[in-house]
Amino acid sequence: MKMINNDIFKNFKTTVRRCHKFRGMYVCETDMGTKIIRISKYSPEQVEMEYRIKAHLIENGFNHLDQLYTSQEGTPYVKYNGLIYVMTDYKKGQTVDFYNKEDIKNAMQILASLHIAGQCFDNVPKDLSLRKIKNLGEVYDKRYRETIKLRKRIENTSRKTDFEILYLKNSNIYQEYQEKSKEYINPISYKKLIDTAKGNKSIAHGEYTYHNIIKLDNDSMEIKGFEESAYNVQITDLVYITRRIMQRNQWDVDLLLTILEEYNKVRPISADEWNIIKGMIIFPERFSKLCNEYFNSRRRWNYNMFDRKFTKILGYKDDYINCTNEILKW
Model confidence pLDDT, tens digit, residues 61-97 = 999 999 999 999 999 999 999 999 999 999 989 999 9
Give the residue-averaged pLDDT of 107-135.
87
Amino acid at 288: S
CA distances from 310 to 174, 276, 288 (A): 12, 26, 11
pLDDT band at 22 (very low <50, low <70, confident <90, very high): confident
Average pLDDT, the chain: 92
Q: Are residues 82 and 105 in the same domain?
A: no
Instruction: Tell me the pLDDT tens digit for each residue of 198-244.
Output: 999 999 999 999 999 999 987 799 999 999 999 999 999 999 999 99
In this prediction, residues 112-119 reach a mean pLDDT of: 98
Q: Domain check: are 260 and 308 in the same one?
A: yes
* φ, ψ at 96 (rounded to 5°): -65, 150
Burial classification of residue 6, based on how many CB atoms lie within 10 Å of its CB (0-12 exposed, 13-18 middle, 19 or more buried): exposed
Residue 325 clears pLDDT 50, i.e. is over it: yes
Is residue 41 in some structural domain? yes
Whole-model pTM: value is 0.92
275 and 221, same domain (yes or no): yes
pLDDT category of residue 305 using cuts at 50, 70 and 90: confident
Q: Is residue 113 part of a domain?
A: yes
117 & 83 share domain: no
Give the span between the Cα atoms of 29 and 142, in whole angstroms: 51
> What per-residue confidence (pLDDT) applies to 21?
87
Residues 296 and 185 in one domain: yes
Per the structure, the count of domains in the chain is 2
Q: What is the pLDDT of residues 234-262, one digit of tens each?
A: 999 999 999 999 999 999 999 999 999 99
Residue 144 maps to a domain: no
> Is there a single domain that holds both residue 122 and residue 53?
no
Range of the domain at 119: 101-134+166-327
Residue 23 pLDDT? 81
Beta bridge partners, 89, equal: 35
At residue 1, the pLDDT reads 44
